[in-house]
């Protein structure tokens, strides 16, 4: 099996004895956003990245907050902070960060983590000590079926911050991409 790490191709002799060299880049992983492909903010598409100028086979098309007129960037330029540095760009709204969350974590969410499109903007959520991992938008009906009080309360709280004061049973109205969404 070939092992890829960034741009460094790993050379390995395959079982026919022919030396193989692979130059494909493995997608970077993001600590707080595990499945950007599943989310759709990173898509499999050949493009020239407007930041690094490289020909890439994946591109990010989610929100980019910058004064520069760009609509996409490669995931590698997000992961290593190049896009944020070159364009003074951020990818997520980070505010009301609890005092126990280290500053470098908030910076990572803001500048080196993909964002996602949603109804109310992509405000990141935090626990008291750390950023939460973005797993996708909430399916309210599924949440009610799971019947986990802590999760339900967290969602109701998030809605109340948007001045939506719903009883728990109304969470079934929450669907990905809907209004409201969490």
Does residue 51 belong to the site contacting Zn ion (CB under 5 A)? yes
Q: Does 144 bind Zn ion (CB under 5 A)?
A: no
181 sits near Zn ion (criterion: CB under 5 A): no
Cβ proximity to Zn ion: between 77 and 156 the closer is 77
- Which listed range, 14-22, 72-80, 98-106, 164-172, lies at the site for Zn ion (CB under 5 A)? 72-80
What distance in Å separates the CA atoms of residue 40 and residue 22, rounded to the nearest whole number?
26
R_g (Cα) of the chain, nearest Å:
19
| Cis peptide bond upstream of 73, omega within 30 | no
Residues in 86-125 that interact with Zn ion by CB under 5 A: none
Binding status of residue 175 toward Zn ion by CB under 5 A: no
Pick between residue 51 and residue 143 the one whose CB is nearest to Zn ion: 51
Residue 52 is a binding residue for Zn ion (CB under 5 A): yes
Cβ 54 to Zn ion shortest distance, Å: 6
Positions touching Zn ion (CB under 5 A) are 49, 51-52, 74, 77
């Amino acid at each position: 099996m070939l092992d890829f790490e960034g741009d460094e191709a790993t050379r390995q002799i395959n079982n026919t004895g022919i030396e193989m060299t692979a130059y494909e880049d493995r997608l970077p992983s993001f600590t707080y956003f595990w499945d950007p492909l599943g989310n759709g903010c990173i898509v499999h598409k050949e493009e020239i990245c407007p930041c690094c100028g490289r020909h890439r086979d994946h591109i990010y098309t989610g929100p980019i907050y910058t004064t520069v007129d760009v609509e996409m960037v490669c995931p590698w330029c997000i992961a290593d902070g190049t896009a944020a540095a070159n364009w003074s760009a951020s990818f997520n709204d980070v505010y009301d960060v609890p005092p126990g969350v280290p500053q470098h974590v908030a910076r990572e969410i803001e500048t080196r983590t993909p964002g996602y499109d949603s109804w109310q903007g992509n405000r990141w959520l935090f626990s008291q000590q750390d950023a939460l991992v973005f797993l996708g938008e909430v399916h309210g009906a599924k949440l009610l079926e799971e019947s986990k009080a802590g999760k339900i309360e967290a969602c109701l709280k998030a809605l109340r911050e948007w001045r939506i004061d719903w009883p728990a049973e109304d969470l079934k109205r929450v669907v990905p991409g809907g209004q409201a969404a969490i």
